[in-house]
Amino acid sequence: MSYPGYPPTGYPAFPGYPPAGQESSFPPPGQYSYPSGFPPVGGGAYPPTPSSGYPGAGGYPGAGGYPAPGGYPSAPQPGGAPSYPGGQGFGAPPSGAGFSGYPQPPSQSYGGGPVQVPLPGGFPVGPMPSQYPGGQSPYPSQISTESLPSYPVFSPVSLDYSSEPASMTQGTQGTIQPAANFDAMRDAEILRKAMKGFGTDEQAIVDVVANRSNDQRQKIKAAFKTMYGKDLIKDLKSELSGNMEELILALFMPPTYYDAWSLQNAMKGAGTQERVLIEILCTRTNQEIREIVRCYQSEFGRDLEKDIRSDTSGHFERLLVSMCQGNRDENQNVNHQLAQEDAQRLYQAGEGRLGTDESCFNMILATRSFPQLKATMEAYSRVANRDLLSSVGREFSGNVESGLKTILQCVLNRPAFFAERLYYSMKGAGTDDSTLVRIVVTRSELDLVQIKQMFIQMYQKTLGTMIASDTSGDYRRLLLAIVGQ
């Protein structure tokens, strides 16, 4: 770390504690008492996406010029799964299969220019409409994700995301905005009173935590220690348990640390939660991945790439190693000639031959920019007479299939990918709470508004409705407060 003696030697790498003098009472590394099963055990491949039209609500008109709806020609329909909006992909021949039903909102913009200048192609935020029902709210540029100089919770490098491509933050918004008239000391006092004496005033905790940005929560954590000489996280842990504790801890971790911590937990102990590795490494920007790799090294003293190599194998290992380089091309200009050539290469590496040349898929999907990949997907549907998502499903299986599909789904529509993950975390018997918590927390200041909109269109119910029916108590109350229900 960049500040001496912090955290104390031998303490597990959760920023900010134990308090000085209490090290002996704290569990040694590897025995930190996080809720068991966090993050969740990896599941199987993503369920295939059925296709149907957009529901009327939501205000996403179908994009002009797309052929009639179609779907996965090769994938079975999951029982009872709600329909995806959208349909056949642009550029597919009338008789061919289109993109696998991923929603295709019109009028997206990319590149460093102003949001009102539409350019072709898509970027990791996903094709987002430039106008939403009720008018577009700009992404809150005032949210600071830099580490605090006064309280460097994680500071191997500055967490300044200003070097991200502009299109990463255009047209999307989080449900949590920085609180106006913020006073860290006042909030620290409210939290102290909520935990003092018999019982805990969970509602007071919910009101503070759900209405402050992550940056503001770090300041509250620092103020609490300054005012009371106690560690806020440790106090919260002693007052809370189960899913509520897991959610609160996630909210108080800086975003980069939370991603790095989730990756380490996914590979710790027996078994590997591949779903978590895919969800984080295949959806983050170059800048975010580089920050995660540095944080992983500084906080846990481990090399992320080495851990991936020891916990995965084969083509899945190669894909994740490619992802954790954080070297994807981020040029927003599309080379249509290259897209045509890549589409031909992918066809010859898969559908056009006996067997599959996996390295060709890895090379193209791991290196090309998202706008370039979108153009490649359009060209592929013309070359192969079926969409690329469908071909990946036919040529690959298991974790590498899930990883490649995740990249393509984020090319088409990143919020739709996360909406699908949220749906399947709650669908059926039981709830995958760690996935629910991780996505709600990590997207709450980025694009949760758009994820909620896609959720309604894809499943004909609100995200809040599904959370309310699958959770209970203070945990439900806090989740709904973050989601904005």
CATH classification at residue 460:
1.10.220.10
Cα dihedral: 112, 344, 347, 73 (round 10)? 60
Residue 93 lies inside a defined structural domain of this protein: no
Q: Which pLDDT tens digits describe the chain residue by residue (485 residues)?
A: 444 444 444 444 444 444 455 444 444 444 444 444 444 444 444 444 444 444 433 444 333 443 444 443 443 444 444 444 433 333 333 334 445 456 655 444 343 334 333 444 434 444 444 333 334 333 333 333 333 333 333 333 333 333 344 444 456 799 999 999 999 999 999 999 999 866 778 899 999 999 999 999 999 999 999 999 999 999 999 988 899 999 999 999 999 999 999 999 999 977 789 999 999 999 999 999 999 999 999 999 999 999 999 999 999 999 999 999 999 999 999 999 999 999 999 999 999 999 999 999 999 999 999 999 999 999 999 999 999 999 999 999 999 999 999 999 999 999 999 999 999 999 988 899 999 999 999 999 999 999 999 999 999 999 999 999 999 999 999 999 999 97
- According to DSSP, the residues that pair with 51 across neighbouring strands are 84
Does 273 fall in a domain?
no
Residue 165 within a domain: no
For the chain, what is the HEC assignment?
A: CCCCCCCCCCCCCCCCCCCCCCHHHCCCCCCCCCCCCCCCCCCCCCCCCCECCCCCCCCCCCCCCCCCCCCCCCCCCCCCCCCECCCCCCCCCCCCCCCCCCCCCCCCCCCCCCCCCCCCCCCCCCCCCCCCCCCCCCCCCCCCCCCCCCCCCCCCCCCCHHHCCHHHCCCCCCCCCCCCCCCHHHHHHHHHHHHCCCCCCHHHHHHHHCCCCHHHHHHHHHHHHHHHCCCHHHHHHHHCCHHHHHHHHHHHCCHHHHHHHHHHHHHCCCCCCHHHHHHHHCCCCHHHHHHHHHHHHHHHCCCHHHHHHHHCCHHHHHHHHHHCCCCCCCCCCCCHHHHHHHHHHHHHHCCCCCCCCHHHHHHHHHHCCHHHHHHHHHHHHHHHCCCHHHHHHHHCCHHHHHHHHHHHHHHHHHHHHHHHHHHHHHCCCCCCHHHHHHHHHHHCCCCHHHHHHHHHHHHCCCHHHHHHHHCCHHHHHHHHHHHCC
Residue of 109, 223, 247, 103 lying closest to 166 (CA atoms): 109
- Residue 49 contacts by C-beta under 8 Å, 6 or more apart in sequence? 71, 72, 75, 84, 100, 101, 102, 420
Token pair listed for 311: 């916990």
CA distance 145 to 213: 9
Structure tokens at 222: 């620092």
Q: Residue for token digits 């205000």?
A: 59
Please report whether residue 189 resides in a domain: yes
**Are residues 418 and 480 located together in one domain of the fold?**
yes
Tell me the HSE value of 382 on the side-chain side, using a 13 A CA sphere.
12
Q: Which of 343, 364, 396 is the endpoint of a domain?
A: 396
Phi-psi map region of 125: left, alpha, beta (phi>0 left; psi -120 to 50 alpha):
alpha
- Do 419 and 480 belong to one domain? yes
Domain boundary among 240, 260, 288: 240
Are 184 and 212 in the same domain? yes
Q: Is residue 86 part of a domain?
A: no
For residue 184, the model assigns a pLDDT of 97
Same domain assignment for residues 464 and 428 = yes
386, 424: one domain: no
279: number of Cβ within 10 Å:
27
What per-residue confidence (pLDDT) applies to 103? 65
**Residues 429 and 459 reside in one and the same domain:** yes
The span from the CA of 157 to the CA of 147, in Å, is 9
Number of folded domains that form the chain = 3
The verdict on residue 326 lying in a domain is: no
Domain that holds residue 363: 332-396
Domain presence at residue 426: yes
Phi, psi of 265 (to 5 degrees): -65, -35
In a domain, 67, yes or no: no
